[in-house]
């Protein structure tokens, strides 16, 4: 059910089994203390009061993993094998997907950097490596999901359920729009907010579609080649307005988000929407 029971793991797209090693425990026990579930109160002491002023709780630290790897056949690691493993584990200075092959029916993954590699010696032989992975979050993540909706004049409504374990229940997805329309308006009816995108200045692909991706988490808009699109090319200028069902208009940019529970969306302008998300889970490191 976790890295404790897993025999192998996948990091940065490669499986530890491909290197002939398995997760093992050498003179150590599993450390699950840095599980991302510990929180600290933000408070100020009051000398003339019996209670402190509390301003909320924040996660004390992200999740980290400490475990060892050994050869599956129990033999020592050769120098070429050691170099190959080191090269793999240090191949990126930025968080990469980390998944433990624990055969659990509810798979999870993390984003981590291998920050420590200690060689384990026995009788003058290299028998394993002790590893530390530090993640960039106090959450694990469920498998990435992608949902596509074809929007027409008669079929312009769809629904998305947000079950993310974020502290405030809000999740920011990535939305890719492919359209021949000059204007697309996407409204989250549940949130009572919308965003309007004008595409007249965008270059069409071979099929005549203009493709752009709204990444709400990072607050960026990119084209089909991953290049940033200037706000002015989307009609996001001082005259910007975006209508909502209530009849009001927003004069600021609304980055699409999912509120906790079921969200109802309405879209104006024929297009195909692809929404990508991976919900965070308060699973700790187990």
Left if phi > 0, otherwise alpha if psi is -120 to 50, otherwise beta: which for 179? beta
79 by DSSP, 3-state: which?
A: helix
User: Which secondary structure element, helix H or strand E, spans residue 150, and what is its range?
Assistant: strand 145-151
> What's the whole-number average pLDDT of the chain?
90
Please check the confidence at residue 113 and state whether its pLDDT lies above 60: yes
Please check the confidence at residue 263 and state whether its pLDDT lies above 60: yes
pLDDT level of residue 104 (50, 70, 90 thresholds): confident
What pLDDT score was predicted for residue 26? 64
For tokens 């240090």, what's the residue?
90
How far apart, in whole angstroms, are the C-alpha atoms of residue 266 and residue 108? 31
Dump pLDDT digits (tens) for 24-65: 876 666 666 567 676 666 767 666 666 666 666 666 678 899
Q: What is the mean pLDDT of residues 91-96?
A: 95
Residue of 106, 101, 96, 103 lying closest to 133 (CA atoms): 96
Measure Cα distances from 100 to 14, 20, 128, 164, 265 in Å.
Answer: 12, 16, 18, 21, 36
pLDDT level of residue 166 (50, 70, 90 thresholds): confident
Dihedral over Cα of 87, 88, 90, 94: its sign: positive
Residue of 230, 48, 23, 284 lying closest to 130 (CA atoms): 23
Structure tokens at 225: 């080649």
Whether 198 contacts 235, CB under 8 Å: yes
Q: What is the mean pLDDT of residues 21-26?
A: 84
What pLDDT score was predicted for residue 255? 97
What pLDDT score was predicted for residue 58? 64
Structure tokens at 154: 């008669």
Please check the confidence at residue 3 and state whether its pLDDT lies above 90: no
How far apart, in whole angstroms, are the C-alpha atoms of residue 280 and residue 67? 23
Question: Per DSSP, what are the bridge partners of residue 70?
Answer: 22, 128
Please check the confidence at residue 1 and state whether its pLDDT lies above 60: no
């Amino acid at each position: 059910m976790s890295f404790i029971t897993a025999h192998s793991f996948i990091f940065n797209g490669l499986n530890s089994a491909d290197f002939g090693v398995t997760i093992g425990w050498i003179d150590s026990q599993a450390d699950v203390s840095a599980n991302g579930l510990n929180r600290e109160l933000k408070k100020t002491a009051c000398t003339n009061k019996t209670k402190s002023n509390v301003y909320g709780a924040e996660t004390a630290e992200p999740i980290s993993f400490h475990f060892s790897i050994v050869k599956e056949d129990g033999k020592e690691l050769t120098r070429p094998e050691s170099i190959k493993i080191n090269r793999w584990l240090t191949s990126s200075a930025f968080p990469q997907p980390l998944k433990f092959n624990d055969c659990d029916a509810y798979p999870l993954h993390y984003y981590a950097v291998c920050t420590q590699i200690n060689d384990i010696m026995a009788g003058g032989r290299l028998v394993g490596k002790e590893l530390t992975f530090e993640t960039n979050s106090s959450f694990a993540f469920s498998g990435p999901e992608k949902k596509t909706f074809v929007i027409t004049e008669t079929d312009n409504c769809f629904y998305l359920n947000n079950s993310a374990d974020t502290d405030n229940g809000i999740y920011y997805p990535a939305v890719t729009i492919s359209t021949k329309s000059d204007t697309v308006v996407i409204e989250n009816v549940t949130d009572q907010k919308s965003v309007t995108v004008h595409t007249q200045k965008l270059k069409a692909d071979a099929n005549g579609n203009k493709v752009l991706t709204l990444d709400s988490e990072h607050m960026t808009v990119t084209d089909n080649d991953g290049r940033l699109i200037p706000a002015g090319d989307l009609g996001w200028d001082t005259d910007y307005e975006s209508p909502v069902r209530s009849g009001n208009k927003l004069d600021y940019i609304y980055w699409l988000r999912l509120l906790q529970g079921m969200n109802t969306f309405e879209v104006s302008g024929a297009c195909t929407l692809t929404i990508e998300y991976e919900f965070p889970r308060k699973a700790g490191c187990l």
